[in-house]
Amino acid sequence: MIKAAVLGSPISHSLSPLLHTIAYTELGLESEYVRIDVKSGELGSFLESCGPTWSGFSLTMPLKEEVLDFASNVSPLASRILSANTLVQNPLQVWSASTTDVSGFTHALSAHGRDATGDVLVIGGGATARAAVSACDGVSTRISVMVRSLSRVKEISNCVEFSDLEFVEWGDTNLFEVADLIISTVPEGVSDSLIKNFPSKPAGIFFDVLYYPWPTMALKTWNALGGQVVDGLDLLIHQAIDQVAIFSGHYVERIGMAQLMRRHGEKALGLST
């Protein structure tokens, strides 16, 4: 019996219960996966109240950084990007945190026949941006990070060991022309101001991590201009597939499962708009 939940706030829009339940059903496993609203500052008390029956938790904002303070074991990758989206406990109720966000980026790109080679532009400087930068490190020749504040330069820099890294001003128009891959990690509406800088005939691929609202204005515009896009639903699906494997201990055939999740996810998003 898989007993799990997605934690965060706000959480009512999350598609994780739908996607995880589909996966466990496909694997022939009994499951219960729900949404639980846990606000910033409440994670510690919530975990103290949890019994041994929980298989694990998926974590979304604002808990991806906070969870590192409560997990007894943190994976090296989660420690490096200072963010975890997956929490499991052993029979002694010791919590271990890890991340599937980094692999989610890689698999989502691969599903579209692409990778992070060449020049990459990452928009934003938070936890998701750090996961994106880490996924690109060693694959990309150069990673440019576009931020409105330099307050998290050190945290992002610690995620890069092999690729060239630079920080650029918000709205640097030239980068949209030359980047092979653009990854937007900013909240709803923030990337709208950058649309005026999009080239008339985009050559690179635009990856927007948001799936709600879906599609974002930036993603829709890039696509309308003829550019290739990857949306946040693909990222959600591929990081969820890795979580399903962790929570269940079962192998998951990625291509078929991703297609199944995608069909149900698109239907759910269509019904919500």
Output 31-34 pairs: Cβ under 8 A, ≥24 positions apart. 31/1, 31/2, 31/3, 31/4, 32/1, 32/2, 32/3, 32/4, 33/2, 33/3, 33/4, 33/5, 33/6, 34/5, 34/6
User: Could you tell me which of 249, 195, 251, 253 has the C-alpha nearest to residue 224?
Assistant: 195
User: Could you tell me which of 27, 31, 28 has the C-alpha nearest to residue 17?
Assistant: 31
- Compute the mean pLDDT over every residue in the chain, rounded to the nearest whole number: 95
Q: CATH top-level class for 102-230?
A: alpha beta
pLDDT digits (tens, 9 = 90+) for 78-111: 999 999 999 999 988 899 999 999 999 999 999 9
The ranges assigned to domains in the chain are 2-99+234-271, 102-230
Peptide bond into 202 cis (omega under 30): no
Fold of 2-99+234-271: Rossmann fold (3.40.50)
> Token pair for residue 112?
């579209």
Angle CA 187–66–211, to nearest 5 = 25
CA gap 255, 107 in Å, rounded:
10
User: Could you tell me which of 44, 28, 34 has the C-alpha nearest to residue 12?
Assistant: 34
Walk along the chain (273 residues) and give the pLDDT tens digit of each residue: 999 999 999 999 999 999 999 999 999 999 999 999 999 999 999 999 998 999 999 999 999 999 999 999 999 999 999 999 999 999 888 999 999 999 999 999 999 999 999 999 999 999 999 999 999 999 999 999 999 888 889 999 999 999 999 999 898 778 999 999 999 999 988 999 999 999 999 999 999 999 988 789 999 999 999 999 999 999 999 999 999 999 999 999 999 999 999 999 999 988 543
